[in-house]
Amino acid sequence: MSDLPSTVRICEEGPREGFQSEPPGIVAAAKIELIDALAETGLGDIACCSFVSPKYVPQMADAEEVAAGLRKRAGVRYTGLWLNASGFARARATPLDLTGLVVASASETFGIKNNNRNRAEMLAGQQSLMSDYRDAAIDAFAAYVFTAFGCNYEGEIAPTLVIGAIEDLLSVIPDPEVVYLCDTIGSASPPTIERVIAEVRSHWPELPLGLHLHDTRGVGMANALTGLQLGVARFDTSIGGLGGCPFAGNRPAAGNLCTEDLAYLCAELGIETGLDIPALIEAARLAEHIVGHPLPGKLKQAGLPARLL
C-alpha cells in the first residue's frame, strides 16, 4: 500500500470542535467525564475547549471550568484553541498544555468571513501572537491551513493558494511540529488531496503534514486512506464522529472524521497508533450518551470483527 507510515498520531478534537457544534447546554462535568475517558485510550493529544467569545460560541463559555476540572494524566497533552491574544491569555491562566497555534486561510474570502481578516491581517495577527508565545516559553507549534481543499465562497482552491498560506505560516514559525491541511468545508477528495500534498512537498519535501478531515460527503475515510498512502502520519479526528449530527440539518458542521473508525483503519493497515480501540468505542458511546443523539461513527455500533476479538 505505497508509502504508508509505520505510526500515526491521532489527535482528538471531539471535546473542542465537536461540542462546539452541538447546541449549548452540555455541562462542564460531562465534558470533563468524556475528556477523562479519552485520556485512558492512548490518545496523546486532546483538544479540550476553545477560549473564544461566549457571545458567539456559548458552548465554550465554560472553557476555564472544563480545564480546571480535568484529571490530568501523564503523557497526554490537553490542548485548547484561541484566535487572539485575549483568548491565549485566558488559556494561559488554566492548567492546559499550551501548543502554539498559527493559522492561515488558503481562501482569503473564508478568512474574511470566518476570522474577519484578510491575508495580511491574518499574518499580522499570527506575528503578534508569537510574542505572547515567546513570553510563555512555548516550544511546540501547530500550523493550520484552512480551506486547503476547497471553499464554499471561492469554490476550487488552487494549490498555489495553499503554498502562499504555508509561506505565511513558516514566516512566523520556521519549524512547526505539524502543518495541518484542513478540509474545512468537507469538499476534499482523493485527487485533490494528492494534488495539494504533491504541490506542498515540491516546495518543502520534509514538512511534517497533518490532515484535518470532515466526513461531509461520505468520502472522508477514502481521503484518509489517500493521505496514509502518501505517508501522512498525523490526523485530527473526533470521537464518534462528533462535530455535527448529519441528521440535524446543520450542513456546514458535518462531523470530523471519526477517531475510532480511523484507528480501526490504521490497525487493519498495520499502522501503529498506540490506541486502545475497545476503549475508544466505549468513549464514543459515552459521547453519544452526552449529546443525546446518534453520532455518525460506525465502529461503535458494529464493534470489532470477530477475528480481532
Per CB under 8 A, residues contacting a copy of itself are 1, 150-153, 155-156, 185-187, 189-192, 194, 215-222, 224-226, 246-247, 249, 251, 254, 258, 260-262, 264-265, 268-270, 294, 296-299, 301-307
**Contact call for residues 244 and 254 (beta carbons, < 8 A):** yes
Residue 121 or 268: the one with the smaller Cβ distance to a copy of itself is 268
Round to whole Å and give the CA distance between 201 and 135. Answer: 32
Amino acid occupying residue 41: T
Round to whole Å and give the CA distance between 191 and 193. Answer: 5
3-state SS, residue 102: strand
Residue 14 or 125: the one with the smaller Cβ distance to a copy of itself is 14
**Closest CA relative to residue 34, chosen from 69, 83, 74:** 69
Active site residue 151: no
**Closest CA relative to residue 143, chosen from 116, 166, 119, 114:** 166
Q: Where are the alpha helices (DSSP H) in 149-303?
A: 159-172, 190-203, 220-229, 259-268, 277-291, 299-302
Least distance from a copy of itself to the Cβ atom of residue 25, Å: 21
Beta-carbon count within 10 A of 129 CB = 22
List CB contacts of 64: < 8 A, sequence separation 6 or more: 90, 93, 94
Least distance from a copy of itself to the Cβ atom of residue 67, Å: 31
Least distance from a copy of itself to the Cβ atom of residue 171, Å: 29
C-alpha cell, 275: 490506541
From residue 161, alpha-carbon distances to 148, 151, 224 in Å are 8, 12, 22
Least distance from a copy of itself to the Cβ atom of residue 174, Å: 33
Residue 115 or 189: the one with the smaller Cβ distance to a copy of itself is 189
Least distance from a copy of itself to the Cβ atom of residue 262, Å: 8
Q: Per the residue annotation, which of 11, 151, 182, 245 is the catalytic one?
A: 245
Catalytic residues: 245
